[in-house]
Amino acid sequence: MELRRIAVAGASGLIGSALARSLASDGHEVVRLVRRAPRGPDEVRWDPERGSVDAAGLVGCDAVVNLAGAGVGDRRWTEAYKKRVRDSRVLGTAALAGAVASLDEPPRVFLNGSAIGFYGETGERTVDESAPAGDGFLPSLCVEWEGAAAPAREAGVRTVFTRTGLVVARGGGAWGKLFPLFQAGLGGRMGDGRQYWSYVSLHDEIAAIRHLLDRDDLSGPFNLTAPQPLTNREITEAMGRVLRRPTLFAVPAPVLRGVLGEMAGDVLGSQRVLPTRLLGSGFTFAFPGIEDAIRAA
């Protein structure tokens, strides 16, 4: 599918900014959704929490990509912050999906962010897109998040969900906080280190999103994770090898729970997630191994 004009919500975030750069470098027109007064024709006003979108600004877009949402790991999970995390995703998605559905000529594809948090705790059990949602805050959030895209899907717009894992990048996310620690020689495993982390390089994340945008025959959920999840201990050792730093400072589980509160469950939890549908669609990872992903970052 030939895409020319693509609207991106969350274009200032880690993934959204990288996607916007990638699209623009290939000659696509990128329209950014912003929460302030637009400063040019390449910006569209929206207010995700209030459910408002200037739908007129989406006219002529071939695709709408929604990657917006308050950072899950940015703050301790108080009830107020959990509400903010939820509202920024669920209400924002509902607003955009409704705007897309209202257009006389809607875009060909609506791609909405999601997360492997959908599956909850999986232990050593592998899961793919056929697995049901887990239990807890993140699974229930992801279910609502994806469900909020219903207006676009019901209007006949091809709708894709990107269930993203831990993105290996220097500029943000979990690895954005890990790199400085490991480079300072203060890195180490978290808890017992046996929990599985399903990661993806930022390069492969963007390549996968573009693959899903381009393929008219692809819809529904796709796990954006490298093919072989590793344990926190294995990833810690790989970080030490690549950065040539010691990894002696293990953080005990009780300390993490004391510092992070409920969010510690996300750090200590195990998610062994496979990208079955993505691989089945013919996508090839550039950095499938953890050491290559770390070097690429």
| Whether 79 contacts 128, CB under 8 Å | no
State the pLDDT at residue 258. Answer: 57
| Whether 142 contacts 118, CB under 8 Å | yes
State the pLDDT at residue 210. Answer: 98
Instruction: Please give the average per-residue pLDDT across 41-57, as a whole number.
Output: 92
Rg (CA), the chain: 19
Residues of the chain with pLDDT > 90: what percent?
A: 74
Q: pLDDT tens digits for 246-267?
A: 888 776 556 555 544 554 455 5
Of 115-124, 154-163, 172-181, the one with minimum mean pLDDT is 172-181
Give the CATH superfamily of 5-296.
NAD(P)-binding Rossmann-like Domain (3.40.50.720)
Instruction: Please give the average per-residue pLDDT across 187-192, as a whole number.
Output: 83
Domain ranges of the chain: 5-296
Instruction: Please give the average per-residue pLDDT across 12-18, as a whole number.
Output: 95
| pLDDT beyond 80 at 93 | yes
What is the value of pTM for the model shown?
0.94
Instruction: Please give the average per-residue pLDDT across 72-85, as a whole number.
Output: 80
